[in-house]
Copies of this chain bind each other. A is one copy, B any other.
Amino acid sequence: MGEFELIERFFKRPARRAALGVGDDCALWQPAPGMQLAISSDMLVEGRHFLSTVDPARLGHKALAVNLSDLAACGAQPLAFTLALALPRADEAWLGAFAQGLLQLADAHGCELIGGDTTQGPLNICITVFGEVPPGDALLRSNAQPGDDIYVSGTLGDARLALDVFRGTQSLDSDAFAQARARLEQPTPRVALGVALRAIADAAIDLSDGLLGDLGHILQRSNVGAQIDTHWIQTPTLFHEQPAGVSPLLSHLPLTRRLDLALAGGDDYELCFTAPVEQRELVHAAAWETDTPICRIGRITAEPGLRVLDAQGQAITRRFAAFDHFA
């Protein structure tokens, strides 16, 4: 199967939003007048971002999900994406499943595949995604204010828990493993929440490398500090009867492990955001209306630095290493 046949067969669909989609030198597309484009690009490499044994449909989902998660963190509405794919060989069963997982998530978000590239090489998936946001409404990393509440969406720690089972450093019963694995392999980009938080939150980032490391980017760019409580890690929290904060799958683990997984686990693809205290009701409403559990985990401080407090309000001095691709 040649490169062009491959594109036609698995990825070409009638252009909707784009004036001209897959199959010319460029995709042509006219953004809505007056809107700002939000653009993000993520590259996924076998062995680093996914295991070679991953179900290709789940991989297709994840490759787009991590990009949609970046749009969510800016409060942008997804519109379109390009896909560049290096494959060791053109395996039809693999490609069919990959395309199915990818396009199903794309359809769920009305996000159109408008172009891309395929080539032979070590498995590598690079997606560039485009969203729109009214000018001035984008959530930035650089706008956190002293006194802001800090929140996370969903639950933290599941993805890293699954990874540790794969690595053989953790055992888990099969039901719990299936749940954790689904969170690792098919993360849920919090697009609706991000859009709903546009006029409410001050700053946001998506959690790919672990809470402390990612929150650290907000602190650095906003020139502020933060205090993180750990009560939400010590005691399971509910948001309208849905688990929020630390993952319930961690409940049987020792506290130090729960802290590690929730604070520095990585791959959660949840949102971490900050909002003024007086916006608490609106934040709650935005989460409720978008059916997204959230949990308040701390506060932005004028004093720089990131302090994690134990149950007695004492700073935990132990280091939690954040994930870094070149660390």
Contact = CB atoms under 8 A, between A and B. Distances in A.
Range, interface on chain A: 35 or more
Contacts of A82: 39-41, 128
Interface string A10-42: 000000000110011111111101111111111
Interface stretch (A51-59, A131-139, A152-160, A244-252): A131-139
A28 B119 contact: no
A144 interface: no
Contact of A26 (B4, B38, B45, B121): B38
Given A41-B84, A138-B20, A25 B124 contact: no
A74 B324 contact: no
B86 A45 contact: yes
A115 B43 contact: no
A141 to B, nearest CB: 5
A27 B115 CA distance: 19
A197 interface: no
20 contacts: A4-B217, A19-B135, A24-B74, A25-B40, A25-B73, A25-B141, A25-B205, A26-B38, A26-B71, A26-B74, A28-B38, A29-B36, A30-B37, A33-B34, A41-B83, A41-B115, A43-B85, A43-B117, A43-B119, A45-B119
Given A31-B31, A40-B115, 11 more contacts: A2-B327, A3-B326, A6-B326, A25-B70, A25-B205, A30-B35, A39-B82, A41-B115, A43-B121, A43-B124, A89-B326
The 9 A-B pairs with the shortest beta carbon distances in the complex, nearest first, are: A45-B121, A126-B126, A25-B73, A26-B38, A43-B84, A128-B128, A41-B82, A122-B122, A25-B70
